Structure 1
Amino acid sequence: MKRFAWGRWVVVGYFLIGLLYAVYANNWGDEPYRSFAYHLGQGLVWPVVVLPGLGKFIGSLLIVAMVAFVMAS
């Protein structure tokens, strides 16, 4: 049981950073006129928002996976 304790802390830390990002973006971000739910959604994927290159990389992987899926079927 203790073996997986670090994983719980990683998940809690990830969501805590996302929540802090949502509060920051809602009050002092570039788009404060958007709802808190919008910023909370961005907070769930905060690494992609903070590091745009990571988002392009993940998007590229998804496109390659979809093309491979279509070609295989």
Structure 2
Amino acid sequence: MSLKGKIISGYLVIGLIYALYSWLFSTYYSHAGFFYNLGRGLMWPAAMFPAFGAFIGGILLVIIACAFALNRR
């Protein structure tokens, strides 16, 4: 297995563990379904570190704005 595969597998395993923990033991998200928590688990860095989530959102906003600006001809 390559390093890229190990990193992706590790990320997904951490996301699955985070989703299971949120679904079973969290006081805020245990009422939500498993697939809601799985979606949160796949974005676990943004869920665990809210400032990082805002940073990712800002970068995506800039990328989308640049794509619209460069696509207009």
- Report the TM-score, using the length of structure 2 for normalisation: 0.85
Post-superposition shift, 1:26? 0.3
Partner of 1:48: 46
Q: Deviations over 1:18-72 (max 9, x none)?
A: 0000110001112211000100111111111011111111111111122222222
Give the partner amino acid of 2:32: R
Question: Deviating runs (4+, > 2 A) in structure 1?
Answer: 69-72
Please give the root-mean-square deviation of Cα atoms over the aligned residues, in Å.
1.3
- Report the TM-score, using the length of structure 1 for normalisation: 0.85
As a proportion of its length, which structure holds more helix?
1
Structure 2: give runs of 5+ residues left out of the alignment. Answer: none
> Is 2:32 aligned against 1:23?
no
Structure 1: give runs of 5+ residues left out of the alignment. Answer: none
Partner of 2:57: 59
Partner of 1:7: 4
